[in-house]
Structure 1
């Protein structure tokens, strides 16, 4: 019979954020690293800073070895419940559509200065040539 995996929300995982009770979330899994804080080669502050958020990027950026990844599995207490988390693609799509609109608005706003400079130059040239 398969073992049931406990599901935790990010809120539940983030409540474990002290040196005596420290949980982190990496790749959708929740780890209780409380007993490993003193042994962690990067120091306990690195793990304590990773509580309350998805620390996957930080974990991957640190370049952990295969041995470290295997050791980490011994601290797994469950998985992150993703049923109420917005899909990343939807968030990324909203951000993607927002950026060009903002740039277009800036372009519309700042065209006046160069146009005014050209207009003033044309008028000054016209007046100067008429006086000759």
Structure 2
């Protein structure tokens, strides 16, 4: 196996997710499969779907042979940096404007829909008893 050429963060690897620049992670190792896309027996779309992320489960589920694992050494470029986060942090924002007003009203008046539902159930039950 080639020596480790670099450590790559998950954020950096995720930027290489196109037909022209295709990196994947398998078992913590980073592979540049850009030049292999046209040769892949399962078609390039299978690799493109796994591009820029950890594809270990996809790779294992496909049941690749020992020859395939040997071929992978040719495309090895480095290792996943163990200190990089597994999932990039998502930015969240508080609702603003109308959404914030609805959210506030929903928190304040949650009992009203519950009461309406309860009354409806009781009235329906009484109606059925009269029949």
The TM tier, using the shorter chain, reads 0.5 to 0.7
Q: 2:84 & 2:32 partners in 1: Cα distance? A: 22
Greater relative contact order (CA < 8 Å, ≥ 6 in sequence): 2
Aligned to 1:57: 57
Q: 1:4 & 1:52 partners in 2: Cα distance? A: 19
Aligned to 2:46: 46
Contact 2:10 2:84 in 1 (8 A): no
RMSD between aligned residues: 1.7
More helix by share: 1
Give the TM-score of the pair, scaled to structure 2.
0.60
User: Tell me, which stretches of 5 or more residues in structure 1 are unaligned?
Assistant: 87-132
Q: Deviations over 1:38-63 (max 9, x none)?
A: 00011101111111321000000000
Structure having the higher Rg = 1
Give the TM-score of the pair, scaled to structure 1.
0.60
User: Tell me, which stretches of 5 or more residues in structure 2 are unaligned?
Assistant: 87-131
The number of aligned residues is 85
Runs of 4+ that moved beyond 3 A = none
